[in-house]
Amino acid sequence: MIMVSARSTGWRSATSLILALVASLVLSLASGTVWANPRYAGIVVDAETNEILYAENADEPRYPASLTKMMTLYMLFEALESGSKTMTTPLAVSSHAASMPATKLWLKSGQSIPVEKAIEAMVVRSANDVAVVVGESLGGTESQFASMMTRKAQELGMRNTTFRNASGLPDDGQRTTARDMAILSMHLIRDFPQYYHYFALTEFTWKGTRHTGHNRLLKNYPGTDGLKTGFIRASGFNVATSSVHSGKRMVAVVMGGYTAASRDEQMMSVLDRGFMRASLLNGRGFLADTNFSGGELMESSHGFQPATPSRQIQVASVSSTAPATSAYSAAATTRAPANTAVQPSRVERVVQPATSTSSYASTTPSYSSSASYASASGSSSTYGSSARYSSSSASSTSSVGGSSGSSAASDPLRQLIDRPSVASTSPPASTYSTPTAGRSVAVASAAPATTQSQPSVQSQGQGDWGVQVGAFSNADHARVQASEAAEKISSQMANARVSVARADSTGVYRARVVDLQENQARSACQSLQQQGMDCMVVQASL
């Protein structure tokens, strides 16, 4: 009987231990805690104000995969500008090019393809055989062309990039960084505005066959008008993206996704946060006096103006004297669906918040978050047909095209090239779970921890004021942000309520903590800022 009792006790103990471990695992997953993705890297840049808004592992070496083709295209655009190639120039297909593995256009040795079709095939189909055709046409051999690509990368300020082929197919020596891919993306948009529209293509036809693209962000994230996706096993899923909302353009790079879907979700998440921060920090004046950590992308405060005669980008103007709005709007383009334009449904009364120092990051469950967000200064830019941009320190504006090149020493991207990674200052992320969707978003603060006391917020009756902490295209992201804000002030304000409201049919969701008196809202915003969260005070009844 004693032995039976001991066995029974041992079994119960083992069962309890197993159940405890299972419960711990379930709670860990529910809270969004995940193992770090060692291949992940990302960066978001405000292309108007030249600021880095987010960076994580931005200087760590990564395989570019088919993002390599952006440099192949850059070199081809240079050839077009120099006159050595035209859009109708036939490019000969060698046996080496024809032997490339998929994805490909299945060109045969002895065939030829016009330059314009080659551009379309590389952008839409990410055709490896076509990339080699272009490389051989420009460099003689693919290896010689890869050396040319590397030299051009160094010239553009991509200091940590080495190319070994024209396509991005696996090669241990072919490496880059998220920062370098952002630099290349910016140069493509700025140096060749007349060709940038090709990056918005979602399909093309070759010899009677219609080919569709891989870049789902062009359809799934309003305002997106380029650039390129990429994947090999060693790299994971990569994407470089440019998107416009309310006249504000972001350039972002996400590398190392586990799946195409998780990569795209991560890109949308960091773009949401980037646009939210820019809307709080730019010329609308929400946080005009705020001093944030992080560095500028470049010296110049000049924006760029990508467009072509066939694809004029329409931008909503923002008057400096008009009342501020909380939601950003997607730029409508002739290629974008009609419902992608987002307009604020009403004008809200916005109260200037107090000065703060704040940084944060957002990720999907597939990624760890140890990232930094930095400020965006208030400058304005017009998008239209234009030549190259000019640096604020330059004495003249260079001509359209890339034939003359641009050295890293005089490049307006120099501050991004020279400055250390902002991600290295980031503390570990805290994780918050999404109440409804079961997914999580990690929010990290890059601001140094302080022991500064928070202002006292007295509990009062329900009011018609609130604190807005962002406007998002994704309701889950808005709910996470609003819930986090409510949690930060819950001990001081019992009557606070989370509100995630869709701005009519505009497609954006306002993340708010509401039912506050005016003095509560002001104090709550001040408290949130001291805890590293951007906010603005709004009167919800207006």
Most confidently modeled range among 18-27, 167-176, 361-370, 481-490: 167-176
Structure-token match 């020493």, residue found: 409
In order of 457, 461, 483, 521, the CA distances from 497 in angstroms are: 15, 12, 9, 12
Size of the chain, expressed as the number of residues it contains: 542
Q: Is 85 a catalytic residue?
A: no
The three-point CA angle 455-456-458 to 5° equals: 145
User: Is the CATH number 3.40.50.2000 carried by domain 63-176?
Assistant: no
Contact (CB, 8 A) for 50 and 381: no
Q: Give the residue among 266, 55, 269, 81 at the shortest CA–CA distance from 181.
A: 55
Q: Residue 290: is the preceding peptide bond cis (ω within 30°)? A: no
DSSP conformation letters of 341-385: ----SS---EEPPPP---------TTS----B-----------SS
Q: How far apart are the C-alpha atoms of 532 and 448, rounded to whole Å?
A: 9
DSSP state of 101: P
Chain centroid to CA 366 = 16
Q: Is 66 a catalytic residue?
A: yes
Q: Worst-scoring range by mean pLDDT, 209-223, 489-503, 522-536?
A: 489-503
Backbone angles phi, psi at 145, to 5 degrees: -65, -40
Q: Which residues pair with 226 in a beta bridge?
A: 242
Give the burial class of 110: count Cβ atoms within 10 A of its Cβ; 0-12 exposed, 13-18 middle, 19 or more buried: exposed
Structure-token match 């060749």, residue found: 192
Contact (CB, 8 A) for 390 and 396: yes
Q: Give the residue among 253, 262, 259, 481 at the shortest CA–CA distance from 361.
A: 481
Stretch (H or E) spanning 418? helix 414-418
Which residues make Cβ contacts (< 8 Å) with residue 462, sequence separation at least 6?
495, 515
- Does the pTM surpass 0.75? The reply is no
pLDDT in tens, 94-145: 999 999 999 999 999 999 999 999 999 999 999 999 999 999 999 999 999 9
In order of 339, 396, 428, 533, the CA distances from 451 in angstroms are: 47, 49, 18, 16
SS3 state at 241: strand
Structure tokens at 482: 């609003």
CB environment 236-275: b (16+ within 10 A), e (fewer): bbbbbbbbbbbbbbbbbbbbbbbebebbbbbbbbbbbbbb
pLDDT in tens, 167-199: 999 999 999 999 999 999 999 999 999 999 999
Q: How far apart are the C-alpha atoms of 384 and 195, rounded to whole Å?
A: 13
Domain at 430-539, CATH class: alpha beta
Q: Which is the catalytic residue, given 104, 117, 126, 499?
A: 126
Which residues make Cβ contacts (< 8 Å) with residue 173, sequence separation at least 6?
162, 164
With cut-offs at 50, 70 and 90, classify the pLDDT of residue 288: very low
Q: How far apart are the C-alpha atoms of 288 and 291, rounded to whole Å?
A: 9
pLDDT (0 to 100) of residue 292: 25
Q: Give the residue among 227, 201, 272 at the shortest CA–CA distance from 64.
A: 227
pLDDT in tens, 211-270: 999 899 999 998 999 899 999 999 999 999 999 987 889 999 999 999 999 999 999 999
Q: Is 207 a catalytic residue?
A: no
Structure tokens at 168: 């991005």
pLDDT in tens, 425-472: 333 232 222 222 333 333 333 333 333 333 343 445 567 888 888 877
Residue 152 annotated as lining a ligand binding site: no
Q: Which is the catalytic residue, given 69, 85, 152, 248?
A: 69
- Would 63-176 and 430-539 be classified into the same CATH topology? no
Q: Which is the catalytic residue, given 66, 242, 356, 362?
A: 66
DSSP state of 337: -
> How is the chain split into domains, by residue range?
63-176, 430-539
In order of 66, 87, 205, 320, 497, the CA distances from 229 in angstroms are: 7, 24, 19, 37, 40
Q: Residue 76: is the preceding peptide bond cis (ω within 30°)? A: no
Structure-token match 């490049």, residue found: 411
